[in-house]
A and B are shown apart, each in its own frame.
Chain A
């Protein structure tokens, strides 16, 4: 797209405003994370500590932290893979089947995404206990898959409905069985929608707090959002270490997104979310 010099200048200014809006809190986060525990907070706030130190990072990068991080990756990763797979299968059925029962079931799926988590957590906890799954990855993955499935199905169904059925029909006429049609035709075409859905599931599960809190009891099983509570006491917060941990949580994920964003946007784009 071509712009005049003035427009370019205006747009660049807007970009800077946007970047500031996003980055200012992160800047503050880093500033607090570098403040020695002994240096009191200043009034008005100092933008940068007088004697920056990395000591908070040293204390925050405990073995527990690494455990929490790995747990988060395992739980989120597995949840994304399972949810997206199941949702794609279900969305395919919902978008291709023409039964009234399916319309009713889809309605039920849509309603299920409205259930408030704090209202259903204790019954789920009881089930997990009966199945002897408390304090395992499995319990969290099952819960995450269940609560993210409705929206994932809904997103993917909207996507699949817009794919031309003609390709599938053509393949069918050529003698491909229904499983082949799904695998060879639908799955590749659905990739952009799958990526969008995966991002959604990743974000929800990466920061999920209530289930992770209730279903895990030992430090070995905690995920990051819960693990960060270690720095919050009854009467005070260890801001420095908490912020240092937050920086350490953010950096790798930001790096991943940074390298992926091209594929992400491209993936979402490829003929996909089109109206």
Chain B
């Protein structure tokens, strides 16, 4: 693109920038303003309060629980979903029979609307009527049903499991595509050098697709952090806040309790935390790849 073609560049950008400015930045800036004013449904005339709501939230027990939950939830889902997605991609890239059918089958959870997924799994988890306990009892894992979603100690794990079930096909799809791009001559060269399948995976395949891994992880990070439907329908953030994360808290505070100022403040916190997440990951990733230059 030459210097005089610059007009085209801006022409291409114009509609996008306009949409993002009007429908994302303008409302978000409004939300930030809202967080400095004590607004709620029942108190429509706003009063400027500075950082008062921020201080109140930072001092609350809720905030710390939600921060902790959001970190566990995001890390749990992102790590496991990518591991499983990658493993499934490797498995479905071996040229075994039924591979084509399986690739389509594995995509199924992915297209089920989140609300339906959550209702289905809430029922699967039901301590008395659910399929999971029924199977576990049948296979003799335990005598009585366990209440996966109703105990503070297992609820988060149970919710993460559902998110992975639903989310891993997306990661798999992208890894699958990347795997098919790995230069087969390199793999064969490694084989001739006597590398086993595990060595080949770590020395050739993974380095070759590291950019895809980065993109995939950042993408799932953002999507997971802001994911709402599954958690809301499964537990509404309960029991006792055990699964409350930023999106459910924002929704509950704003739409459930009509406290807009506080919901807005949680929204701002949520962006800050997510930005830190992404930044940390990118930094770690960069420094790791600097330390170990890959083939």
In the complex, are there CB atoms of A and B closer than 8 Å? yes
**A5 contacts chain B at the CB level, 8 A cutoff:** no
Residue of A8, A123, A142 with highest tally of chain B CB at under 10 A: A123
Residues of B close to A172: CB separation below 8 A: 2
A5-35 contacts to B, CB under 8 A, are 8, 11-12, 14-15, 18-19, 21-26, 28-29, 32
Chain B, residue nearest A262 (CB):
B100
User: Do A41 and B96 form a contact, CB below 8 Å, given A228-B115, A271-B181?
Assistant: no
A contact residues around B105 at 8 Å (CB)? 19, 22-23
- B6 located at the interface, meaning its Cβ lies under 8 Å from any Cβ of chain A in the complex: yes
A229, B114: Cα distance in complex, Å: 12
The reply to whether A41 and B247 form a contact with Cβ atoms under 8 Å apart is no
Residue of A12, A225, A261, A272 near B96 (CB, 8 A) is A12
Given contacts A115-B271, A119-B28, are A45 and B130 in contact (CB under 8 A)? Answer: yes
In the complex, what's the smallest C-beta–C-beta distance from B108 to chain A, in angstroms? Answer: 6
**A119-B250, A250-B111, A273-B177 are known contacts. Are A1 and B215 too (CB-CB below 8 A)?**
no
Chain B nearest CB, measured from A5 CB (Å): 12
A210 within 8 A of B: yes
- Is B222 in contact with A113, judged by CB distance below 8 angstroms? yes
**Do A264 and B173 touch across chains, with their CB atoms under 8 A apart?**
yes
A249 at the interface (CB under 8 A from B): yes
Pair B94/A28 contact, Cβ less than 8 Å: no
Contact A150 B28 (CB under 8 A): no
Given contacts A123-B27, A274-B181, contact A118 B251 (CB under 8 A): yes
Query: Is B181 a contact of A22 with CB atoms below 8 Å?
Result: no
B124 touches A196 (CB 8 A): no
Q: Are B119 and A92 in contact (CB under 8 A)?
A: no
Is A89 in contact with B13, judged by CB distance below 8 angstroms?
yes
Pairwise interchain contact B124-A28, C-beta atoms closer than 8 A? yes
Contacts from A to B (Cβ < 8 Å): 1, 3, 8, 11-12, 14-15, 18-19, 21-26, 28-29, 32, 41-45, 47, 86-87, 89-90, 92-94, 96-97, 102, 105, 108-109, 111-124, 127, 142-143, 145-147, 149-151, 153, 155, 158, 168, 172, 178-179, 181-182, 192, 196, 199-200, 203, 206-207, 209-210, 224-225, 228-229, 232, 237, 239, 242-243, 246, 249-250, 253-254, 257-258, 261-262, 264-265, 268-269, 271-275
B window 86-116: CB within 8 A of A? 88, 91-92, 94-96, 98, 100-116
* Interface residue? B270 (CB, 8 A): yes
Residues of B within 8 A of A12 (CB): 96
Nearest A residue to B91, CB-CB? A14
The reply to whether B108 and A114 form a contact with Cβ atoms under 8 Å apart is: no
> Which residues of B sit under 8 angstroms from A120, Cβ to Cβ?
24, 27-28, 30-31, 267
Given known contacts A153-B16, A273-B177, A209 and B120 CB-to-CB distance under 8 angstroms: no
Could you give, for residues 26-62 of chain B, a 1 whenever the CB lies within 8 Å of some chain A CB and a 0 otherwise? 1110110000000000000000000000000000000
